[in-house]
A and B are shown apart, each in its own frame.
Chain A
Amino acid sequence: MTLRQRLQRQLNLLDYALATLWRRKLKNFGIVVVFTVVVFLFGSLQLMNRGLTEAAEAILKGAPDITVQQMSAGRQVSLHQTAGEEIEKILGVAKVVPRIWGYHFDEANGANYTIVGMNHDGQLSPLAEGRYPETGSSGEVVISREVQKSLDLGSRLSFSLFRPDLSMKSCTTVGMFGTHTGPVTADTIFMTMADARDLFQLGPHLITDLLVYVANPREIDNIAGKIASKIPGSRVITRSQIMKTYNVVYSWRSGFGGICLLASLVAFVILAYDRASGLSREDLREMGILKILGWQVGEVMAVRFWESVVVSFTAFLLGYGFAWVHVVWWQGMLFQPLMLGWSVLRPEFRFVPSFVPADLLLLFSVSVLPYLAATVVPAWKSGMVRPDTVI
């Protein structure tokens, strides 16, 4: 048989399989719907994982190469600003920026704000509105839409925060973070170092961490090692470590969701096996007629194989398409608590996952492969029907 004849034979079998699927459309429609839901659930998780990881990568591009913190008795403590001068002496260090950051709990609404105190040096990511606080100004802050809503500011720009001694510190909004930095800025209130020191009532020259920028990226690990030896008891974190941690967290969360969804996958495989095995009287009659006409077991199995391929690919494309719609238009609302965590201040974040063929392969392996494995034995059983017993 020539290649052309073989191809024509397979096309004829596919044609017959499509006609069979159409004849039993109600039964097959049920399978396609359930299969689509399974692909949709797994696909949504995978796309959210991709979207979050890419967002973290984009945000961390502007992050410092090395972050230095001081540890004491296993806990983070304040660091003296002069430690930055020691680090600046290390060859290869381009810049050292001191920072104060901490949490501020708002008893009125139960929200936990992240306070970041830094002097703006023109290298921070652009804002959606307004500007960063001027160095030397007092009470100027940048907030996010979520913080604005949480504080119930409406169109007002001024608000107050409690210091540890319960006196009030006045703040005025001068800028607004954009949604593209949502995962990290949703709960952030940005102010100058002096304001943050005043709010937390830290002593003079005390800071929480130092941000180190390195001229040559290949030297980051070496310089990190030198910093660790220069400042005893310091915790030195590089940007790649932070990225890997984000990666681990998001992968773990989507993997955890995937494990939970395995039960639905198993249920679907059992359903597919059961549906494929349960031949009706009409199906048996059809098999009998085909066998009398001279069809071999292999040909019946080939028809069943094409049926499985058509069903699984249709469901796969539908499920993946719905997953895209769910993640891009509805921000993956089904899995938001799992992937983003739950908090009073939930980041309003738009997922824009890029299309990666490897993700399709992953999804294919947890949906189409089990379905194909579940239908091969029933396909053979239908091919083994003896015509004399069914006609």
Chain B
Amino acid sequence: MLLQGWAIALMVSFLGTLFLGLYSALCAVRILRYWDQNADTARQICLEGETWLSSALMQYGLFFQLFSLVLLVLAADSFSGQLAGAMCATGAFTANGYGIPALFVKIVMVFFCGYWLLLHRLDLQVETYPLVRLKYVCLLLLIPLLLVDGTLQSLYIFSLEPDVITSCCGVLFRPAENDGFNLLNPFSVPLLLSLFYSLAMLLIGMGIWLQRRISQTTGRVRCWPMGFYACCWALFFVVSLWAITIFFSSYIYAMPSHRCPFDIIQAEYNYIGYPLYLTLFVATFLGTGCGVAEMVRCREGLEPVVDRFQATALPAALILLIIFLLLSGYAPLRYIIAGGEV
């Protein structure tokens, strides 16, 4: 299916990201090899200039990755019009073994690029650049992931065959009992919703508590709670995607058999998926970013900088979490108020 507009767009976007990634990796190698904070040589001045370039390249890279994530979902939706058995993007993603892994790696890449930029922002606020080596090692580690992302995406596109019958969301995510062929239904819906709202309440409670602690205690005391808080955010992200797929989406579509996490970004559903996923992604990034920042707070001069970041990120994550809960709960609530059966 390479001869398709969306496939070409995805490949062009990947080649753009690869160019940015490889160029920044080149800068990273030079910086790791020759960086000397105390030197006053022309090479050191040049390397300091290269940090600007690598940061710009990574910012572009993050933008490209975000763009490419949306593009992949829209491409899958378009492919579904050509694949036998597929009625939406879910069917197109499961048409071969590479679709879901490609999507997963792309989401991971978006978060990792964001964490790198976070480290870079923290680093720039300290005169001694305490994170230079760490962040450029991380940058080099991102390159293999970028290659995996591109390879999976290419394999997915190359392996799509319009004449191979695939299964769609109604089959994959249905609450069936005995066919053993659904992806996300090991627990009952009430259990899943309990987990979803319990985690949300825990995050709100912990967020308020940590916000108060920031001004009262030293970093060492906050280290473990902040790590736990970040892990809860990561878990909440997974549970949210799960809940959107098998519970909230069917209320948005007003159709019990339609359980697709991708169609909600379509015009027919007022593009509700965009604010829903945007708030979830940004809130998760800020929440887990607090944990990432906490890991480097012990470095020289970073404590006040990390404190400032966390003091902004924690309330922002909470506000976004509340907006996400309101957006996701709106459709089921409207259904119940209108007299629907629970």
Q: Is chain B found bound to chain A in the same assembly?
A: yes
> A390 at interface (Cβ–Cβ under 8 A)?
no
- The stretch of A107-115, A118-126, A332-340, A375-383 that contacts the partner chain: A375-383
Tell me what chain A mostly uses at the interface: helix, strand, loop, or mixed. helix
Q: Which of B46, B60, B70 has the most CB of A within 10 A?
A: B60
Contact A244 B82 (CB under 8 A): yes
> B56 at interface (Cβ–Cβ under 8 A)?
yes
Contact A365 B67 (CB under 8 A): yes
* Interface residue total, chain B, C-beta cutoff 8 A: 36
Chain A interface size range = 35 or more
Tell me what chain B mostly uses at the interface: helix, strand, loop, or mixed. helix
Tell me the chain B residues, 1-53 only, with Cβ under 8 Å from chain A. Answer: 2-10, 12-13, 16, 19-20, 23, 46, 49, 52-53
List, in ascending order, chain B residues with CB within 8 A of A377's CB: 23, 53
Per-residue 0/1 for A97-133: is the Cβ within 8 Å of any B Cβ (1 yes, 0 no)? 0000000000000000000000000000000000000
> A183 at interface (Cβ–Cβ under 8 A)?
no
Question: Would you give the shortest CB distance from A253 to chain B, in whole angstroms?
Answer: 8
In Å, the complex CA distance between A247 and B81 comes to 7
Contact A262 B52 (CB under 8 A): no
> B327 at interface (Cβ–Cβ under 8 A)?
no
Contact A46 B4 (CB under 8 A): no
A residues bordering B, Cβ < 8 Å? 45-46, 49, 53, 241, 243-244, 247-248, 251-252, 254-256, 258-259, 262, 265, 297-298, 301, 356-358, 361-362, 365-366, 369-370, 372-373, 376-377, 379-380, 383-384
Sorted nearest first, the 10 A-B pairs with minimum C-beta distance are: A255-B3, A255-B4, A373-B16, A380-B53, A365-B9, A297-B52, A247-B81, A248-B82, A258-B8, A247-B82
B residues bordering A, Cβ < 8 Å? 2-10, 12-13, 16, 19-20, 23, 46, 49, 52-53, 56-57, 60, 64, 67-68, 70-71, 74, 77-78, 81-84, 162, 267
Known: A262-B8, A366-B8, A377-B23. 11 other contacts (CB 8 A): A45-B5, A46-B5, A251-B5, A252-B3, A265-B12, A357-B267, A365-B10, A370-B16, A376-B53, A380-B56, A383-B49
17 contacts between A and B (CB under 8 A): A46-B5, A49-B5, A241-B84, A244-B81, A248-B162, A252-B3, A255-B4, A256-B3, A297-B49, A356-B267, A358-B74, A362-B71, A369-B16, A372-B60, A373-B60, A376-B60, A379-B56
